[in-house]
Amino acid sequence: MTRLVTVVTAGLSQPSSTRLLADQLAAATDRALRLAGEDVRIEVLELRDLAHAVTDNLLTGFPSGALADAVALVRDADALVAVTPIFSASYSGLFKSFFDVLEDGTLEGKPVLLGATAGTARHSLALEFALRPLFAYLRADVVPTAVFAASEDFGAVTPSGSLASRVDRAGRELADAVTGRARSGPVDPFENPTPFEDLLRK
Amino acid sequence: MQFGIFTVGDVTTDPTTGHTPTEHERIKATIAIARKAEEVGLDVFATGEHHNPPFVPSAPTTTLAHIAAQTSTLLLSTSTTLITTTDPVRIAEDYATLQHLSDGRVDLMMGRGNTGPVYPWFGKDIRDGIPLAIENYHLLRRLWREEVVDWEGKFRTPLQGFTATPRPLDGVPPFVWHGSIRSPEIAEQAAYYGDGFFANHIFWPASHTERMVGYYRSRFEHYGHGSADQAIVGLGGQVFMRRNSQDAVREFRPYFDNAPVYGHGPSLEDFTSQTPLTVGSPQEVIERTLGFREYVGDYQRQLFLMDHAGLPLKTVLEQLDLLGEEVVPVLRKEFAARKPAHVLDAPTHASLLAARTAADAEVSA
């Protein structure tokens, strides 16, 4: 069975260090899943490309074109890697807006790996005080290791260990969360209608 | 097939002139628009119901009765009647009275309303939206169909030995549609009772409407009211026309760009490709509208939103001339030519009365 890993990356510059971290997290997840005998398909969503469509969705209430496809990739994913730059002590507005336009329940029970980037390591706890509560609210199944990369991490082994080792550990945790579990996701009410007699009795 | 217009009743500043109509002007304009609808040969006029600015239609039966007195063939409807926050006893009484005053030219479309504070203002909770719609409508049906009602539910004080007066005209309750943009429970409700289902069809892509209507049709058949293609479907729609397509786009763009709901979002071009909005010549509107049946099947009612976003009354009346004189006659002919015989028109007071008379005759024979 092929496992779909969808990667949401909210970096704005080109090239983007957020994308760089997202690719490393996706590769680590891919390695760990393949070691466990799974086939893997990775889909990367650059939110910058969807920025106009996300704003339109906030205003009109429905996702158009490429955004509808992106939402489907998140909904259908076996696992999600979500990476944002830290702006003003939290996730970026674009990152939050994307998760704001998802239907309720889209991430329910879904294994999620969180990552963030910033210029300095002083922002690293934003993962814990901003991103983790957001995904707890969305009822996602967030793996214990969230990976923060400051600019310096891309060049050095820091006292807290190398970025590569944290990425590997996070990828293994996400793969563990995926293997052996049935695909989760919202129940489609159109496929599973509640008979009207039941609605009347409530 | 029935053709008509539906209004939200918004008071919106005209972005090209900065003029904001008074509530008085807006209410009077609504009457002029309804009269015009009959004059140009449309079948239906439906008004929304709102209880907050910038909207004026808080008392729909007052407005509809006034229109009934000034028209003779126009079918009066709602878009929508707030079944969640309005006491079903009041709906039963108000619309039965309107039936008598208009000689049966009434049907209703039930909706939940989407303005959060309206619920607490009327003593309800928005989280009960679906249960309110279900319980209240079930009571409403009984009030119209049973002379004396004993009833107890969750949301309203119980009724013992209650008779809603006046009784429906000729003992035939108004036909009911249920409108919902995205709740399968409401399509389920419409299917269960064999009522009509109306898809807003303005704000969302065609693929979404296709799914909602397809669901309603299959459940209509499931509940034994007929085959799926006989289910009673209505669609909204939104058009702006000038003889020359470019003129329509040029004139409508500032209204679109500043419109409530979607203004300042997608471009006019994106939105017309993503949703059923059509801005162009009458011929373009005809072609687009005929295309609707390709994804919802043969349907019974098409309503257009014509008077919103600050469009001045004069422009709206010109739009109705184009709609009534150039678009609808062609649509009537073309839709009729495509519709198989076993797909019936939407029920009206006359057809419901005839059906009941025939059923009574069968019983006594």
DSSP per position, A34-103: HHTT-EEEEEEEEGGGGHHHHHHHHHHSS--HHHHHHHHHHHT-SEEEEEEEEETTEE-HHHHHHHHTSP
Distance from CA of B217 to the nearest CA of A (A): 12
Reported as a pLDDT band with limits 50, 70 and 90, residue A185 is: low
| pLDDT reported for residue A158 | 65
pLDDT in tens, A8-41: 999 999 889 999 999 999 999 999 999 999 999 9
Q: Do B184 and A55 touch (CB under 8 A)?
A: no
Question: CB–CB of A27/A115 below 8 Å?
Answer: no
Kindly state the tokens that stand for B40. 């140009």
Which of these ranges, A184-198, B284-298, B340-354, has the smallest mean pLDDT? A184-198
pTM: 0.92
CATH of the domain at A28: 3.40.50.360
Give the model's pLDDT for residue B364: 83
Give the minimum alpha-carbon distance from B147 to chain A in angstroms, rounded to a whole number: 22
**Chain-chain contact of B266 with A56 (C-beta, under 8 angstroms):** yes
Q: Best of A62, A67, A97, A104 to disrupt the B interface by mutation (most B CBs within 10 Å)?
A: A62
Whether residue B266 and residue A193 make contact (CB cut-off 8 A), yes or no, is no
pLDDT at B328: 98
Interface of B with A in 199-258 (CB under 8 A): 203-205, 208, 211, 215, 219, 223
Domain carrying residue A46: 2-201
Residues B248-293: tens digit of each pLDDT: 999 999 999 999 878 899 999 999 998 999 999 999 999 999 999 9
Number of domains in chain A: 1
By the CB < 8 Å criterion, does B24 face chain A?
no
| CB pair distance less than 8 Å for B261 and A59 | yes
Average pLDDT over residues A71-92: 97
In this complex, the residue of A64, A196, A202 whose CB is nearest that of residue B192 is A196
CATH number of the domain encompassing residue B210: 3.20.20.30
Is residue B272 within a helix (H) or strand (E), and if so which, with residue range? helix B268-274
What pLDDT score does A186 carry?
A: 63
Indicate if the pLDDT at residue A184 is higher than 60: no
- Is the ipTM reported for this complex over the cut 0.85? no
Domain count, chain B: 1
B155 in reach of chain A (CB within 8 A): no
Those of residues 273-292 in B touching chain A at CB distance below 8 A are: 274
Q: Which chain A residues are Cβ-neighbours of B186 within 8 angstroms?
A: none
SS3 content of chain B, % helix, strand, coil (to 5): 50, 15, 35
Which structural domain range is residue B114 located in?
2-364
As a whole number of angstroms, the distance between CA A104 and CA B126 comes to 16
Best residue in B114, B137, B225, B262 for a mutation probing chain A (most A CBs within 10 Å): B262
Q: For A59-63, B62-66, B338-342, which range has the lowest pLDDT when averaged over its residues?
A: A59-63
- Eight-class DSSP state of B305: B
Residue B184 is nearest to which of A61, A62, A189, comparing CB atoms?
Answer: A189
